[in-house]
């Protein structure tokens, strides 16, 4: 028995002020492409079942484009005749009972089964039961729901548990509304043939449980997620569980560190051959206020002019002799000018003051760290 497990596709996510040739936000289009690739591979694999463990959409009220895209893709999957079981994640679950859950758009699909009402539901087939526990707005209900799951286990069939949560603090995403599965209830995992998890954005086998897996997200929603290995799981449930991870191609992300003391040298050491249309992060270390003035974001952007996005982060060293008695009494520009005057030679002061005046003027017009 083959089960495709994927999750956290976050359809409708967008970022950057960049649109593609179709007028769609480029990052939003990247998420659609990732989904397209998974659908294509599902078509080739022909699994017995498909499970999606939450956060199909990035928001509980997604855009018309995201909804239209999802309906189109799931209509195609529905016509394959493969049962599809989905649960709602924290991003796709409305906070109030007055809002209709977005996954209800699939209610009339023949082969799609969704759990989205903040309660446990069991979807039973001839040879398997899917124990579907969607995101719970009230995590205090988890013990009651786990009790219902345990009572529904049928040892004569395969049992698959689907959840969208953190199993242990290691898999917390630091998001509003997420909850941690209680450790004292992890014994139920041993009664399952497979535990399909969503919420954590990296492919991972949860420690101490050889049948508990996060498939990870299909794309990155944050630059803090530096993983380039995105994809889905193919779980084979025979006498023994076999788990394979299938990687898809996503927009590449690269992070480089540059020492401010060797800025030009370190910058030009970076190999740009693989950076076309990639997202690039540059972290400048060992910065002082004076060195920072001489390093412009524009210079870095021009060096990586074929990349889609360049993010510059600056890490300053602590200067112990640098004290602020009453920083609220003067503007930042005035304060910095006084700093230059105190710590620079006259010629250097004139040069840097002219440059800082120009930068502060631009700052006041439009400040943006991401270029």
Beta carbons within 10 angstroms of residue 193's beta carbon: 18
Q: What is the pLDDT of residue 332?
A: 66
- DSSP states of 90-152 as a string? TTTS-SSTTSPPGGGGGTT-TTEEEE-SSS-EEEE-SSEEEEEE---SSGGGHHHHHHHHHHH
Domain residue spans of the chain: 2-248, 253-365
Query: Residue 335: its pLDDT value, please?
Result: 67
Question: What tens digit of pLDDT does each residue of 152-191 get?
Answer: 999 999 999 999 999 977 787 777 677 889 999 999 999 9
Q: How far apart are the C-alpha atoms of 295 and 258, rounded to whole Å?
A: 11
Among 63, 162, 164, 57, residue whose Cα is nearest residue 103: 57
Per-residue pLDDT reduced to its tens digit, 315-337: 998 765 545 444 444 456 676 77
Each residue's pLDDT, cut to its tens digit, for the chain (371 residues) gives 999 999 999 999 998 888 999 999 999 999 999 999 999 999 999 999 999 999 999 999 999 999 999 999 999 999 999 999 999 998 888 877 778 899 999 999 999 999 999 999 999 999 999 999 999 988 889 999 999 999 999 999 999 999 999 997 778 777 767 788 999 999 999 999 999 999 999 999 998 899 999 999 999 998 888 888 899 999 999 989 999 999 999 999 999 999 999 999 999 999 999 999 999 999 999 999 888 888 999 999 999 999 999 999 999 987 655 454 444 444 566 767 777 777 777 777 777 777 777 776 666 555 444 43
| 2-248: CATH number | 3.60.21.10
By DSSP bridging, strand 84-87 and strand 49-52 are parallel
| C-alpha 258, offset from chain centre | 26
Q: If phi over 0 gives left and psi between -120 and 50 gives alpha, with beta otherwise, what is residue 181?
A: beta
Question: Among candidates 177, 180, 216, 182, which has minimal Cα distance to 196?
Answer: 216
What is the average pLDDT score of the chain?
Answer: 89
């Amino acid at each position: 028995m083959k089960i495709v497990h994927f999750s956290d596709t976050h359809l409708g996510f967008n970022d950057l002020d960049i649109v593609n040739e179709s007028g769609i936000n480029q990052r939003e289009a990247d998420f659609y492409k990732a989904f397209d690739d998974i659908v294509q591979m599902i078509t080739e694999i022909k699994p017995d079942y498909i499970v999606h463990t939450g956060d199909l959409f990035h928001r509980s009220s997604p855009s018309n484009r995201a909804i239209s895209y999802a309906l189109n893709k799931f209509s195609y999957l529905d016509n394959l005749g493969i049962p599809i079981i989905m649960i709602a994640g924290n991003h796709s679950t409305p906070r109030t009972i007055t809002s209709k859950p977005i996954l209800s758009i699939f209610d009339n699909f023949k082969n799609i089964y969704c759990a989205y009402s903040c309660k446990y539901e069991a979807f039973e087939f001839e040879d398997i039961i899917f124990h579907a526990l969607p995101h719970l707005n009230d995590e205090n209900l988890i013990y009651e729901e786990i009790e219902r799951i345990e009572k529904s286990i049928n040892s004569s069939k395969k049992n698959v548990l689907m959840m969208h949560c953190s199993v242990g603090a290691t898999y917390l995403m630091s998001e509003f509304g997420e909850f941690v599965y209680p450790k004292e209830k992890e014994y139920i995992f041993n009664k399952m043939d497979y535990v399909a998890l969503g919420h954590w954005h990296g492919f991972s086998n949860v420690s101490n449980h050889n049948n508990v897996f996060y498939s990870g997200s299909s794309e990155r929603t944050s630059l803090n997620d530096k993983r380039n290995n995105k994809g889905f799981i193919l779980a084979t449930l025979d006498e023994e569980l076999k788990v394979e991870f299938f990687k898809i191609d996503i927009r590449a992300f690269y992070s480089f560190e540059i020492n401010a003391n060797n800025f030009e040298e370190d910058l030009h050491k970076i190999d740009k051959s693989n950076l076309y249309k990639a997202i690039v992060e540059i972290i400048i270390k060992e910065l002082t206020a004076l060195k920072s003035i001489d390093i412009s974001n524009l210079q870095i952007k021009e060096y990586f002019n074929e990349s889609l996005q360049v993010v510059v982060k600056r890490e300053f060293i602590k200067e112990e002799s640098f004290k602020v008695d009453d920083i609220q009494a003067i503007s930042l520009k005035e304060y910095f000018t006084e700093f230059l005057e105190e710590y620079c030679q006259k010629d250097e002061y004139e040069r840097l003051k002219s440059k800082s005046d120009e930068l502060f003027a631009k700052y006041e017009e439009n400040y943006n760290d991401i270029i």
